[in-house]
Amino acid sequence: MLKRMSTIFLCLLIAAVGVTGVAQTKKSAGPAPDKAYLQKIWDGWATLDTANVAGFYATGPHTFFDIAPLKYGSWDEYEKGSKAVIARYKSAKFTVNDDVAIHPHGDLVWATATVANQMTTTAGKVEMGNFRWTVVFENEDGKWMIIHEHVSAPLQ
């Protein structure tokens, strides 16, 4: 009986150590994104260079909805499509408004906000307004990466 109990205890100990080891393989992403982190993303977009925001977006099959066109199925598609839109502008400024709401949920965080925009076309026309923004982040190897995004503008 003692030998059997020792064997059971040893098996449980090995299982517990194994589970603990597996659980620790995923890096902690640290604190959830905050308004400053969200602003940093939009500051990257304001440079009108997708290279300055690529590091915020997860690779692979993820859905991103933008103002135009309707939908992208990956960051690669989003980046390619965005370059065509960005080429029509010579400057941009984006400000995450104070209505930002951030909702952490384990390795996911979703956030909503409106974003004030001022963009100047290559022809010199200034466009101003507000975007609606919904974004979902996932902890990928210790970094909060955008896995879904929806940007839209109210109908005028």
Q: Which residues pair with 113 in a beta bridge?
A: 133
Express each pLDDT in 26-71 by its tens digit.
Answer: 567 678 999 999 999 999 999 999 999 999 999 989 999 987 777 9
User: How far apart, in whole angstroms, are the C-alpha atoms of residue 22 and residue 44?
Assistant: 35
- Measuring CA to CA, how many Å separate 124 from each of 24, 53, 70, 129, 153? 53, 25, 26, 16, 21
Express each pLDDT in 79-124 by its tens digit.
Answer: 999 998 999 999 999 999 999 999 999 999 999 999 999 999 999 9
In a domain, 13, yes or no: no
In a domain, 80, yes or no: yes
In a domain, 51, yes or no: yes
Instruction: Give the count of domains, the chain.
Output: 1
In a domain, 2, yes or no: no
pLDDT-based confidence at residue 8 (cuts at 50, 70, 90): very low
Domain extent at residue 120: 30-152
Q: Domain containing 64 — which CATH number?
A: 3.10.450.50
